[in-house]
Structure 1
Amino acid sequence: MSGLWARYNKLLDAQPLLTKCFTSLTGFTVGDILAQKFVEPSDKPYDVMRTVRLGSFGFLFHGSTGHYFYGLLDSKLPGTKPVTVATKVIIDQTIWNPIFGCAFFGYLNAVEGKSWNDYTKKLNADLKTAVMGSWAVWVPAHTINFAFVPPAQRLLYINTIQIGYNIFLSFLGNKAVDEEKPPEL
């Protein structure tokens, strides 16, 4: 296991952006697989393309934006003092979280070939739930993240937590606008 960790850190040093993109691809893929296999009704057949959509979102959007966003936060707000950590969490959850939600639903909308009207309906139906659901997970997770996790490992830590959170996101992102509420976190 230590060899794998050393190899990951070597890749992170050599290719930080690409490594974080692949880390996010893994987190989003695993989260969707778990959502489809263990959370949603078992009478639905497994949707491979749904997993591809979620994984590609992780690779193309989450990994790259996470690399730059958390790098920016760390450069503008260095350190781990409680006020710095709290400021980073507040910025993440009040600014980045809604942007992320809009991008997540927008990406799924686009790759599924849906209309702008479908996108606005989805935002109206589910963005508030996604943002508020995020608070339950990410406020405590990011408090730990910004206080104790080295900046280079932030996205790995986030993706570890993200696997569980992606079960919620996968359900929310793939439910029809008029379906029932998502499962409790």
Structure 2
Amino acid sequence: MSTILSRLWNTNKKIISQKIRIGLVRESMKVKGGNAMDKIVATRNIMFTKYLFVSNVSISILLSATGDVLEQYYQNHINTDPSKVSSGEPPSWNRTRTLHMSLSGASVGILCHHGYRLLDALYPGRAIKTVAKKVLFDQLCISPVIICAFFLTLGALEGASRGQILTEITDKGKRLYLAEWVVWPPAQVVNFYFLSTRYRVLYDNTISLGYDVYTSYVKHDHS
């Protein structure tokens, strides 16, 4: 399963990279000779209009990886992993773990991208009642799906059995879901009331950097 996912990822990465390069060349030709503000606007249009899906997934990948790097740094240099201390093994960065976390960020980014578009289609507008419906729908329907996708992706990459994946979803997924009720309802009120759809995932991932550190901790907590 992990081999199939890796091949699909590499194939899609090549196609996406090629499309991005072509798009960037075209956009750079449009603003050639323009001032700095023109280039900023053009870059924003590339990221959050033409290639919004790619931008959202890329941001999720980057911040998921960053969250894991920060968590590993904390484990290795601030709160040293007891298992490494007892074995005499020097602290080290687990690159494979970070890669897997970043790929799980891809699945989360895809679901967030389409989930926010669905919410805006179901509940258009920014009235208080509408925002409240979006927050509840997000917490009750979208968040559980994203948490399950997170553990399914990592389980597949790590070669875990169905039973192991199900155990992680029921045990560790519950911890993440309870934490989400503390972090996300107030954050999503701001998201749904003030921001347009194309900036939702960027805002979401910016707020969630600290939550990504906690997610990495919960996923790799063997206590």
> Could you tell me the TM-score, scaled by structure 1's length?
0.87
What is the match of residue 159 of structure 1? 205
Aligned counterpart in structure 2 of residue 36 of structure 1, from 72, 75, 100: 72
1:24-173 superposed matches below 5 A: 24-38=60-74, 41-43=79-81, 44-59=91-106, 61-173=107-219
Going from structure 1 to structure 2, the CA distance change for 1:5 and 1:63 (only over 3 Å counts) comes to: farther
* Whole-angstrom CA distance in 1 between matches of 2:45 and 2:80: 38
The C-alpha deviation readout for 1:100-127, integer Å capped at 9, x for no partner, is 1111111111110011111122123212
What is the match of residue 15 of structure 1? 51
* Whole-angstrom CA distance in 1 between matches of 2:202 and 2:114: 14
SS of equivalent residue, structure 1 residue 124: helix
The C-alpha deviation readout for 1:123-167, integer Å capped at 9, x for no partner, is 232121111101111111111100111111000000101211100
The C-alpha deviation readout for 1:42-75, integer Å capped at 9, x for no partner, is 354211111111111112x122111111001111
* Whole-angstrom CA distance in 2 between matches of 1:75 and 1:124: 31
SS of equivalent residue, structure 2 residue 208: helix
| One-letter amino acid of the structure 1 residue matched with residue 95 of structure 2 | V
| One-letter amino acid of the structure 1 residue matched with residue 166 of structure 2 | T
Percent identical across equivalent pairs? Answer: 31
* Whole-angstrom CA distance in 2 between matches of 1:133 and 1:102: 15
| One-letter amino acid of the structure 2 residue matched with residue 37 of structure 1 | Y
What's the RMSD between the two structures over aligned residues?
1.9
Using the TM superposition, give the Cα deviation of residue 9 of structure 1 relative to its aligned residue in structure 2, in angstroms.
3.8
Identify which range, 144-153 or 123-132, moves more after superposition: 123-132
| Larger Rg over CA atoms | 2
* Whole-angstrom CA distance in 2 between matches of 1:163 and 1:5: 26
SS of equivalent residue, structure 2 residue 80: coil
Identify which range, 131-140 or 167-176, moves more after superposition: 167-176
> Could you tell me the TM-score, scaled by structure 2's length?
0.73
* Whole-angstrom CA distance in 1 between matches of 2:110 and 2:69: 22
Q: Conserved in 1, the CA contact under 8 Å of 2:108 and 2:149? A: no
Going from structure 1 to structure 2, the CA distance change for 1:167 and 1:127 (only over 3 Å counts) comes to: same
Structure 2, unpaired ranges of 5+: 1-35, 82-90
| One-letter amino acid of the structure 1 residue matched with residue 102 of structure 2 | G
Work out which structure has the larger RCO, using CA pairs closer than 8 Å and 6 or more positions apart in sequence.
Answer: 1
Structure 1, unpaired ranges of 5+: 180-185
